[in-house]
Amino acid sequence: MKLAVVGATGLVGTEILEVLQEHKFPYDQLLLVASERSKGKIIEYMGKSHVVIGLEEAVAAQPEIAIFSAGGSASLEWAPKFAAVGTVVIDNSSVWRMDPSKKLVVPEINAKEIGAADKIIANPNCSTIQMVLALEPLRQRYGIKRIVVSTYQSVTGTGKAAVDQMMAERQGKTPEMVYPHKIDLNVLPHIDVFQPNGYTKEEMKMINETKKIFSDESIQVTSTTVRVPTMGGHSEAVNVEFKQDFDLAEVRTLLENAPGIIVQDDPANFVYPMPIHAHKKDEVFVGRLRRDESQPNTLNMWIVADNLRKGAATNAVQIAEYLLGNKLV
């Protein structure tokens, strides 16, 4: 079985390789693929030296699975070329997510939608993944009417250049600017480009992707996405209005028994999710569970996950594991 990792030299690509190793993902041949400027680079991985190859060479090799984390333009051009030779592409970019012919998958929620004909599968937005995973067991029990989410997103979500900007600012140096403002000791209520309706593209991703993953256009979603100077992962304050009333003890039990979720909810002892503890973890952490006393049937939640893990690499590897386990490749 040939497995290609496209964008292997980037932040998410590096994380994908770590997750593949940790999960003991089975393959016979690993193809590390990147842009022309990285072609020929040597990457040491699991005791072997791998030469980075270009996209044309990777397509010619006809891998069974290709995990893409190379940006939207590369995915738009090259994912169909891989699919045409029989490769199943798992794509981390946003270009295929809202395509009605493509599945948008969080394995714990909707992997069963994947069929043998699906050659391009979209990985959702990092912030969407952690939110919908935490909401899914509650949605199944109570139904969801409305979601209000405010995010606190790590600079790692922008990439290595953003991390470099923040660290240079922290050292008192003049950095190459990725953001329109300083990020260290600051908060930017601006992720991705602003849309005509005043929302950013990131905010609209959360709104639209949530409805698609849940297969429910009736759910009302509003979002404010914010960049904060952290490294370990993304945090979210989520206010969710259910169709039915709920019991807080039952909410905790549902979350504790759900796959991929760890409940950290003991504020009396200062136990609650934080990105510094979510770093390098595959799970989504949930806490600060409390009833919204301003309106009925509404719960407040605090959700944290490593955006490079469950928000990207881990989710993609889990999709690949599902493909193998169900003989879809």
Known catalytic residues are 126, 234
Residue 282's SS3 state is: coil
Q: Which residues of 110-138 are buried (b: 16+ CB within 10 A; e: fewer)?
A: bbeebeeebbbbbbbbbbbbbbbbbbbbb
What three-state secondary structure class fits 83?
helix
- Burial of residue 148 (CB within 10 Å: 0-12, 13-18, 19+) is middle
8-state DSSP, 32: E
What does the alpha-carbon distance between residue 39 and residue 107 come to, in Å, rounded to a whole number? 32
Assign residue 232 a region (left: φ > 0; alpha: ψ between -120 and 50; beta: otherwise): alpha
* Residue where the block lists tokens 């051009």: 77
Give me the helices (H) in the chain, please: 11-22, 55-60, 72-84, 107-110, 126-142, 160-170, 201-214, 248-256, 275-278, 314-325
Kindly report the length of the chain.
329
